[in-house]
Amino acid sequence: MYPQATFHFPFGFLWGTATAAHQVEGNNNNNNWAAWEQEAGRIKNNDRAGLACDWWNGRWKGDFDRATETGQNAHRMSVEWSRIQPTPDHWDESALDYYREMVRGLRDRKITPLITLHHFSNPLWLEEQGAWENDETPLKFARFARKVAQALKEYVTIWTPINEPNVYTALGYLQGFFPPGKTDAAAAFAVLRNMVRGHAAAYSAIHEVQREARVGTAIHYRGFLPARPSFPLDAWLAGFLSRNQNDAFPRALDKGRLNFLFKNASLREAAGTQDFIGVNYYTTELVRFSPLDRKNMFMQHSFPSGAPLSKTGFIADVPEGMFTALRWANSFGKPILILENGVEDADDTLRPQYLIEHLYQVWKAVNGNYPIKGYFHWTLVDNFEWERGWSQRFGLWGLNTKTQARIRRPSVDLYAEICRENGVSTAMMEKYAPQTVEKIFPV
């Protein structure tokens, strides 16, 4: 017989889901990802976003209804720069009106909105000007941030200027999986430097418009562990990857100095420009030095032995890594928001276990007095997963892309119980993922 317990979270804790404009709106045809999707071989199975979740035609209303009916009190969404500023010299006020309607719709449903201004996609005109390699882009981004803040300030007080700048830089400029498909370390450094500058400029612009705003970054925290802890080169590689992947951007916002890929830059204007730190955590991996593997920069990656894997092998369920990520975030001395966490699982067999085990680690951190203010699950409904197209299903709700029908997965009801209880209970574990009880209450 296991203890009947409930692990409660603080009063006022935010429980939500996260989405991104290009992944859910549909028919975003004026940005770099729309162009990227036209190139054969860029997206798995040559998929295209197409209608996505059809939010631009109004299906956000039904999805927001589903969110509020299942107990969520917050939602993180992004706005699409190319809709709001389709050309360098034109602002589309109708697009801003539509986003205003969306965030008002969240408020009307008693859901707190959090707005991300840049979630991987650039307007085509900006891409043609060199995007974030161009030193003028931070100022252009600040003008965009100011415009959006002025339009949405009545309904929004929590802002994330740039989502996962570390991922945008690594996949677009080091590994070539994201547009523009480069493998150029010098370009990567320039991009990350300008994203630091862009965040700082947007931070100032938003606070000038809205004094009470809370502005923070969203970092994809990837756990890196040495495959052979006693082997110095494995340990060095794990540390090197963590410093560059996890530390570089938020440390620049903290101290005003960027250290990335053996280069550094003084960016004093960025110091102190995060009111909270946002953590996106999915998994942890092992790193092994491999002297013959030049193609992969002399390293091999694997997942911890015994960790359950998602169907495509993209994510391993390593919940202890969530606590490590939160301990890292706590080192910045700022409030913490978990802005993304989830697993691709069309059958919804791993997700209940993943969700419970990760939230238990969050609860442990909360009880260690870490100032965690909210949790946003990735994602509300299946959406277009970038270079992986429609091959992965992260939604609490499934999506039939042909009919736009939403499919209620069991995790919908699990997350609803968590949100309403403001906690995770033994009864939930026994009902949705009984294998987790023994892990959390070992005999």
The letter for the amino acid at 216 is G
What pLDDT shows up at residue 389? 98
Residue 73 confidence (pLDDT) above 80: yes
Residue 314 confidence (pLDDT) above 80: yes
Q: Which of 199, 105, 212, 99 is nearest to 151 (CA)?
A: 99
Distance of CA 110 to the CA centre of its chain: 23
Residue 442 confidence (pLDDT) above 90: no
Q: How far apart are CA 297 and CA 58, in angstroms?
A: 46
H or E element that contains 349: none
Tokens of 211: 């004094």
Q: What is the mean pLDDT of residues 217-226?
A: 98
In which band, very low, low, confident or very high, does the pLDDT at 443 lie, cut at 50, 70 and 90?
Answer: low
H or E element that contains 230: none
Residue 272 confidence (pLDDT) above 90: yes
Q: What is the mean pLDDT of residues 399-406?
A: 98
Beta strands 397-399 and 406-408 are: antiparallel
What pLDDT shows up at residue 2? 79
Packing angle of the helix pair 137-152, 93-108 (nearest 10 deg) = 50
Q: What is the mean pLDDT of residues 323-344?
A: 98
Least-confidence region, from 53-57, 295-299, 435-439? 295-299
Q: Which of 162, 275, 267, 265 is nearest to 220 (CA)?
A: 162
| Residue 304 CB-density burial (10 A; 0-12 exposed, 13-18 middle, 19+ buried) | middle
pTM exceeds 0.85, yes or no: yes
Residue 295 confidence (pLDDT) above 80: no
106 by DSSP, 3-state: which? helix
H or E element that contains 332: none
Q: How far apart are CA 91 and CA 147, in angstroms?
A: 9
Packing angle of the helix pair 185-209, 137-152 (nearest 10 deg) = 30
In which band, very low, low, confident or very high, does the pLDDT at 219 lie, cut at 50, 70 and 90?
Answer: very high
Q: How far apart are CA 244 and CA 258, in angstroms?
A: 10
What pLDDT shows up at residue 294? 78
Distance of CA 364 to the CA centre of its chain: 22
pLDDT digits (tens, 9 = 90+) for 98-157: 999 999 999 999 999 999 999 999 999 999 999 999 999 999 999 999 999 999 999 999
Q: Decide if 254 contacts 263 (C-beta within 8 A).
A: no
In which band, very low, low, confident or very high, does the pLDDT at 297 lie, cut at 50, 70 and 90?
Answer: confident
Average pLDDT, the chain: 97
* In the chain, % of residues over pLDDT 70: 100
In which band, very low, low, confident or very high, does the pLDDT at 3 lie, cut at 50, 70 and 90?
Answer: confident
In which band, very low, low, confident or very high, does the pLDDT at 1 lie, cut at 50, 70 and 90?
Answer: low
Going from the N-terminus, what domains does the chain have, and what CATH number goes with each? 6-440 (3.20.20.80)
| Residue 219 CB-density burial (10 A; 0-12 exposed, 13-18 middle, 19+ buried) | buried
